[in-house]
């Protein structure tokens, strides 16, 4: 590990402690990875890529120390709830459309049968025109 890499890790750990105690100085104090990166003075992608273990440790401590769910997880959970509702709505719509297809198919069959019966009877309605080939 290079001294710069070790220095980043030390700053990240100190920033974790400050954020968890509500004493953030450089960031807005939110319990997010972005705020942690700002607080530690490291690029957000450096935190995500090189120091992913510290980011995960931060989120574990957020859950354990503050009994809170991280903001990103809250947003993801809300999105999941919305998506599940959307899927349920779409499934209900598909079921309704399938039932309509069945009913329209049956109605079409009944109309064809009535048309065939009317064509066989003498004096059938003169306004019914049969399609060629039917």
- pLDDT tens digits, one per residue of 58-93: 888 888 887 777 777 888 999 999 999 999 999 999
The pLDDT score that the predictor gives to residue 27 is: 82
- Counting Cα atoms < 13 Å in the Cβ hemisphere of 2 gives 4
Rounded distance, CA 103 to CA 40, Å? Answer: 65
**Nearest Cα residue to 39 out of 59, 52, 49, 24:** 24
Rg (CA), the chain: 33
Backbone torsions φ then ψ of 122, nearest 5 degrees? -70, 145
Average pLDDT over residues 5-11: 87
Note the pTM of the prediction, 2 decimals.
0.51
Token pair belonging to 87: 């899927």
CB-CB contact of 77 with 53 (8 Å): no
Rounded distance, CA 38 to CA 48, Å? Answer: 13
Rounded distance, CA 77 to CA 65, Å? Answer: 21
Asked if pLDDT for residue 126 goes beyond 70, the answer is: no
What's the gap between Cα 108 and its chain centre?
40
CB-CB contact of 12 with 47 (8 Å): yes
Give the DSSP letter of residue 129.
Answer: -
Rounded distance, CA 59 to CA 10, Å? Answer: 17
């Amino acid at each position: 590990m290079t001294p710069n890499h070790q220095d980043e890790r030390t700053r990240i750990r100190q920033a974790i402690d400050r954020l968890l105690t509500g004493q953030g100085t450089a960031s807005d104090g939110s319990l997010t990875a972005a705020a942690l990166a700002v607080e530690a003075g490291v690029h957000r992608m450096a935190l995500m890529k090189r120091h992913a273990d510290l980011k995960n440790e931060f989120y574990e401590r957020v859950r354990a120390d503050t009994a809170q769910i991280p903001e990103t997880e809250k947003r993801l959970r809300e999105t999941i709830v919305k998506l599940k509702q959307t899927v349920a709505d779409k499934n209900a719509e598909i079921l309704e459309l399938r039932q309509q297809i069945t009913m329209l198919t049956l109605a079409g069959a009944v109309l064809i049968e009535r048309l065939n019966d009317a064509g066989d009877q003498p004096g059938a309605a003169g306004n019914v025109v049969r399609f060629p080939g039917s």
